[in-house]
Amino acid sequence: MTHRIAVVGGDGIGPEVISVALDVIAAAGAGISTTEFELGGHRYLRDGTVLDDETLEELRTFDAILLGAVGTPEVPPGVIERGLLLKARFELDLYVNLRPFTLPDGHSFTVIRENTEGTYAGEGGFLRKGTPHEIATQGSVNTRMGAERAIRYGFELARARERRHLTLVHKTNVLTFSGDLWERTFNEVAEEYSDVETAYNHVDAACIHFVEDPHRYEVIVTDNLFGDILTDLGGAVAGGIGLAASANLNPDRTGPSLFEPVHGSAPDIAGKGLANPTAAVLSAVLMLEFLGEAECAERVRAACESVIADDAVPDVGTDEIAKAILSGLEQG
């Protein structure tokens, strides 16, 4: 089977790392055909396009989307993030953001971040903007359906893991409305998964545990904002943001899922051959897994892990890391 992949290299180092990811999965024998889309900050600066409805409808016809990174310093904050990334998540119903982490000692854990609600939903506005009495509100939108489907995904994932352990992370002692909805939903769904052990952590405590005792975690489920922050911290404790992969999933498969490295476009090193492509390659691994290409995915993951274990990643450039991963793939 050949899977049709929409490729968005994007800005900065995005095209560089995505090129490596495509080379690696092709070498692994993955059956894919690719179509490139020019989207991101540079496209916006050229003609004002972020993600128009016509392009969005075309993206719906693909099996998956592989994205490098988007954003340029010349574009005001929020234009690309809301107009491209968040629009894709909302319109394609990519309600699960899955981010796996592997620590240097081999321990792994996964964060499930609800991806379409919370403070990122866009509820809010200004009163008397630009005056000394300006007011800004930013609401957090939480629905029972949105919380439950993310929580259920977390339970299903935890059930398939060795320890069968799922932790809810929120801030119920202060966010007494959204936190209450999440905690009640979590506890009610937990009754259907008696084989899964559960725990609860406030998000501030979870930040401490990520640094001091990440081994306590196997699968975490949390809301959009907390998940965004925690997963960047997870990348740091797991060896750096250059190793952090992510999947924006539509588990119901009513449209394509989107896969991207967690890092940004890093315009300061673009074109210098310094970008670490490992996160992009591992994002492509998540894509292959979701598409049912388990054998290819495992071979590529093993090659990446061998390079990381050899401590080659932090000290060499893009081409050297790519060659090391390809060499590991051949040897495997």
Tens digits of per-residue pLDDT, 51-83?
A: 999 999 999 999 999 999 999 999 999 999 999
3-class secondary-structure state, position 181: helix
- Are residues 221 and 187 in contact, defined by beta-carbon separation less than 8 angstroms? no
* Best CA proximity match to 260, nearest among 273, 246, 276, 250: 246
Task: Answer whether 21's CB lies under 8 Å from 303's CB.
Answer: no
Rounded to whole angstroms, the Cα distance separating 248 from 92 reads 10
Alpha-carbon gap, residue 32 to 258, rounded angstroms: 15
CB 106 within 8 A of CB 162: no
Identify the pLDDT of residue 231: 95
Report the half-sphere exposure of 174 (CA within 13 A, side-chain side).
5
Distance of alpha carbon 268 from alpha carbon 69, whole angstroms: 13
Residues of the chain predicted below pLDDT 70 = 311-315
- Looking at residue 331, what is its pLDDT? 85
pLDDT of residue 239: 87
Phi-psi region of 211 (alpha: psi -120 to 50; beta: other; left: phi over 0): alpha
| pLDDT for res 311 | 61
Which pLDDT score, from 0 to 100, does residue 315 have? 61
What's the pLDDT at 295? 95
SS3 of 23-63: HHHHHCCCCEEEEECCCCHHHHHHHCCCCCHHHHHHHCCCC
pLDDT (0 to 100) of residue 242 = 82
88-115 pLDDT tens trace? 999 999 999 999 999 989 999 999 999 9
Task: Give percent of the chain with pLDDT exceeding 70.
Answer: 98
